[in-house]
A and B are shown apart, each in its own frame.
Chain A
Amino acid sequence: MGTTNTVLLVVLGVLALVFGVLVFTLNSMARVTFSLLAALVCVGGVTTVLGLPYLGVVIVLMMVMEMVVMAVFMIAYMMNPAGLMPMSMLHNKRGALVISGVVFAALVAGIFLVPWRDSAALQPRDTTFQVGRALMAEQMLTMVTLGFVLLATMVAATVLATHRGRYDRFGDDLDQRPAKDPAGGGVGR
């Protein structure tokens, strides 16, 4: 690995950790969301520097869209969206710190105690081709499973987010009158 790549990795790694910590220390919800976005963009950057440009760019693009959506939900559902009235949004802070500290210590111990062996394999010339071929050949079952998971997620998320469906309003045979809603909504009927 060249010097430029090593410097890039160090800078992106430190920035990812700093922004990750800021996510749980800042008050303003907009800043929190964009800190998480910055941390995950650094993750995409690390992935790119490690030789996976396609996946790195996918992660960055996906995270930008995801965090923009998340900002809307953050401001809608948070107790103190603007950060103008500082308040604690934590519970069992000490317990959480202890658990995450112990897990970190165990992971670092494992990282330095395991005798990793050096790889003799060479990197493929085109890493995008490698992942594309794997997903369309030997890892096809993984890709099919991921596809079904995404479809199920779309259906389940829509079902959960929809207040009342067509059959709830009109019954299984569509012969009942709509229930009397306490509040108006929908298309105004």
Chain B
Amino acid sequence: MTFELILVLAAGLFCTGLFGALSQQSIVMIMMGIELMIGGIIVAAADFWHFLAPGAPSGQVVIVAAVVAMAVEMAMGFAVTTAIYRARRVDMTDMAGDLKG
């Protein structure tokens, strides 16, 4: 049962971050939401490794990749925020609607 409860914790962290990433206006706050989502993925990977496949290192490698994704997301997020703020004095997503795909 512990295995499932930790997965629920991971899902809770992921969905809290998802709410933040979808609802926040500030670019920096959106990045915080994404960090929380990756935190949930780390918990889930550690849980899978511990309870399902402790003999295989794949779970640990997923955590390493998620930690790198966190670092990359923060560095690129701040760089993009700085670039768009310098170009147009914009720090909110609603003002940068033309960046929509």
Question: Which residues on A are within 8 Å of B, measured CB to CB?
Answer: 1, 6, 9, 13, 16-17, 20-21, 23-24, 32-33, 36, 39-40, 43, 46-47, 50-52, 55, 58-59, 62, 66, 69-70, 73-74, 77-79, 89-93, 95-97, 99-101, 103-104, 107-108, 111-112, 116-119, 121-124, 127, 130-131, 133-135, 138-139, 142, 146, 149-150, 153-154, 156-158, 160-161, 163
Closest 3 A/B residue pairs (Cβ) = A121-B55, A134-B57, A96-B23
Interface residues of B in 18-50 (CB under 8 A from A): 18-20, 22-29, 31-33, 35-36, 39, 42-43, 46-47, 49-50
* B57, A119: Cβ atoms closer than 8 Å: no
Q: Please list 30 pairs of residues, one from A and one from B, whose beta carbons are closer than 8 Å in the complex, sorted by A's number.
A: A9-B2, A13-B6, A23-B32, A23-B33, A39-B36, A43-B13, A46-B43, A47-B46, A52-B49, A52-B63, A62-B71, A77-B26, A77-B28, A78-B28, A78-B29, A90-B25, A92-B22, A92-B23, A96-B23, A99-B19, A99-B22, A103-B15, A104-B11, A116-B51, A131-B57, A142-B64, A150-B68, A153-B71, A153-B75, A160-B83
* A150, B71: Cβ atoms closer than 8 Å: yes
Query: Given that A77-B81, A100-B18, A142-B65 are known contacts, is A89 also in contact with B26, CB under 8 Å in the complex?
Result: yes
Q: Which of chain B's residues have a CB closer than 8 A to the CB of A23?
A: 16, 20, 32-33, 36
The reply on B72 being an interface residue by CB < 8 A is yes
Question: In the complex, which of the residues A96, A117, A139 contacts B57, with contact meaning CB atoms closer than 8 Å?
Answer: A139
A131 to chain B, nearest CB (A): 4
Query: Given that A62-B70, A134-B60 are known contacts, is A21 also in contact with B16, CB under 8 Å in the complex?
Result: yes
Instruction: Please measure, in the bound complex, the distance between the C-alpha atom of A122 and the C-alpha atom of B23, giving whole angstroms.
Output: 43
* B47, A50: Cβ atoms closer than 8 Å: yes
Q: Which of chain B's residues have a CB closer than 8 A to the CB of A73?
A: 28, 78, 81
Instruction: Please measure, in the bound complex, the distance between the C-alpha atom of A62 and the C-alpha atom of B12, giving whole angstroms.
Output: 22
Interface size on B, residues (CB 8 A): 71
With CB as the reference atom, state the residue of chain B lying closest to A54: B60
* B22, A107: Cβ atoms closer than 8 Å: no
The reply on B88 being an interface residue by CB < 8 A is no
Question: In the complex, which of the residues B18, B52, B64 contacts A119, with contact meaning CB atoms closer than 8 Å?
Answer: B52
* A59, B42: Cβ atoms closer than 8 Å: yes
Q: Which of chain B's residues have a CB closer than 8 A to the CB of A79?
A: 26, 91-92
Question: In the complex, which of the residues B6, B27, B65, B94 contacts A77, with contact meaning CB atoms closer than 8 Å?
Answer: B27
* A134, B13: Cβ atoms closer than 8 Å: no
Q: Which of chain B's residues have a CB closer than 8 A to the CB of A135?
A: 61, 64
Q: Which of chain A's residues have a CB closer than 8 A to the CB of B93?
A: 91
